[in-house]
Amino acid sequence: MAKGFGSRGMGMGGGMNMNMIKQAQKMQQDMMRMQQELEEKTYEASAGGGVVTAVVTGKRELKSLEIDPDAVDPEDVEMLQDLIVAAVNEAMRAAESDAANTMQKLTGGLGLPF
């Protein structure tokens, strides 16, 4: 029998592998739970001093959009469009940032691609 391949060596290594598998399974379950929680959250952002407010979900879907009637100027539709894009993009960034921070806490900085 080759050195290091006795039954004791394999038993110890096997136990360490099972522990790693259990930890990985727990991390996977925690990630799935956190992902579900993140998807249920909403994120709100405003633009133009609050004349346009966008709310997105953790699934990165636009849930609602509020526009102050004073912001509607038929002579300057481009400004309104820009405000809408800015509000939606900021809400999306908030959702993405929250997801990244939450996953960072879970993975402990392992640098996993999520």
Task: Give pLDDT tens digits for 12-27.
Answer: 455 668 888 888 888 8
Q: Considering only 7-11, 37-41, 70-74, 87-91, which range has the smallest mean pLDDT?
A: 7-11
pTM over 0.75: no
Which CATH number goes with the domain that contains 103? 3.30.1310.10
The reported pLDDT for the residue numbered 10 is: 47
- C-alpha 52/C-alpha 86 separation (Å) is 9
Cβ-Cβ contacts under 8 Å for 10 (sequence gap 6 or more): none
**Total tally of structural domains belonging to the chain:** 1
- Does 91 fall in a domain? yes
* pLDDT tens digits, one per residue of 52-72: 999 999 999 999 999 999 889
Domain enclosing residue 89, as ranges: 11-107
- Does 3 fall in a domain? no
- Does 35 fall in a domain? yes
